[in-house]
Structure 1
């Protein structure tokens, strides 16, 4: 399993290559972040309900149901741990109309806040299990307008994101967060053999 890897230098290069302005691309507000976002530098605040982020970043972006059955906002369920994943996530962020993502999580997360998120992980896991079962079914009363079957594939993909989130909570997220705690304390990645903080 991979512990923390700092994606921000790569993200900066990708943004410059794309000709984007970071201040315009990443305009989401920390106080509006989705409570489902896993700790790390990237997070989603207020986003649109178009549910486009998974088109580019299915291994990192998932959708909530805060609009009451239909797609609500996006959130980051898995932080990137290499250049390819960072590029994919940035492209997913670019698809969001309201520019509701941000990459300044390192300025806000504290060791205790990360530990508190981890202690409360059962809440997000329970939500993800329930919504995956709901949206992954073959008959759903809220698929688009009048349960239009054209939306079936989109909901099934969203449900896969929720199942992936559950799997990550169960296996992988703990070691990542321990590495992130090291980063928050030391402002560097842990070297091989260095002990990581406990959650």
Structure 2
């Protein structure tokens, strides 16, 4: 299913249920939901195949988290099917710029991964990222800001509809650098360190 990027639609939230009331948490792990979905599908596709090679080829733009891409095709399947989570990088290959925040997000990302012809997606990022490597990725954010700004400029001037359609996601990615992303990364470092999701009131490690 192709999805329209709706800038007026609120982003999904990382939530945990407290009785009948949803509680915002800094990091929610999508993997249990992902495993349940692929169990229903009867296959994990290529997510668990050749992950050493995928990690070695990992696109530097991938935001730290459980999902990431190595080498993918350049057909823009991901941004079409999951425009609030996937973008294409400087070489036209896909990367994950926002990790799932809800079960619906997980299903959407998995569907995009299943549709990627080269099988370039993986879901073992938790076994590969470390607190230090997450901090190193964040420390290089000036390079990321430059890339996003250049892409926004290029797509704004482009006559191609697919470039224009990418602009909302690029702007969201840009805004997240000074918004939700630092808190997400601190929550993810907590997850990597403690092996559990942080409670809403818990002190998070620094970036």
Settle same-fold status: TM greater than 0.5: yes
The two structures, once aligned, show a CA RMSD in angstroms of 1.5
Query: Which residue is 1:105 aligned to?
Result: 125
Any unmatched runs of 5+ in structure 1? 67-71, 140-151
SS in 1 for 2:110: helix
Query: Which residue is 1:115 aligned to?
Result: 135
The answer on 1:40 being equivalent to 2:87 is no
Query: Which residue is 2:88 aligned to?
Result: 63
Shift of 1:107: 0.5
Query: Which residue is 2:161 aligned to?
Result: 153
Any unmatched runs of 5+ in structure 2? 1-12, 15-25
Matches within 5 A, 1:13-92: 13-22=36-45, 24-27=46-49, 28=51, 29-66=54-91, 72-92=92-112
Misfit runs of 4+, over 4 Å: none
- Write the distance in 2 (CA, Å) between the matches of 1:25 and 1:190: 26
Q: For each residue in 1:62-120, what CA deviation from the matched residue of structure 2 results, as whole angstroms up to 9, or x when unmatched?
A: 01132xxxxx1000001112111111111111121000010000011000100111111
Residues 47 and 123 of structure 2 are in contact (CA less than 8 Å); yes or no, is this contact kept in structure 1? no
Structure with greater helix percent: 1
Residues 56 and 92 of structure 1 are in contact (CA less than 8 Å); yes or no, is this contact kept in structure 2? yes
Residues 26 and 99 of structure 1 are in contact (CA less than 8 Å); yes or no, is this contact kept in structure 2? no
Query: Which residue is 1:143 aligned to?
Result: none
Query: Which residue is 2:196 aligned to?
Result: 188
- Counting matched residue pairs gives 181
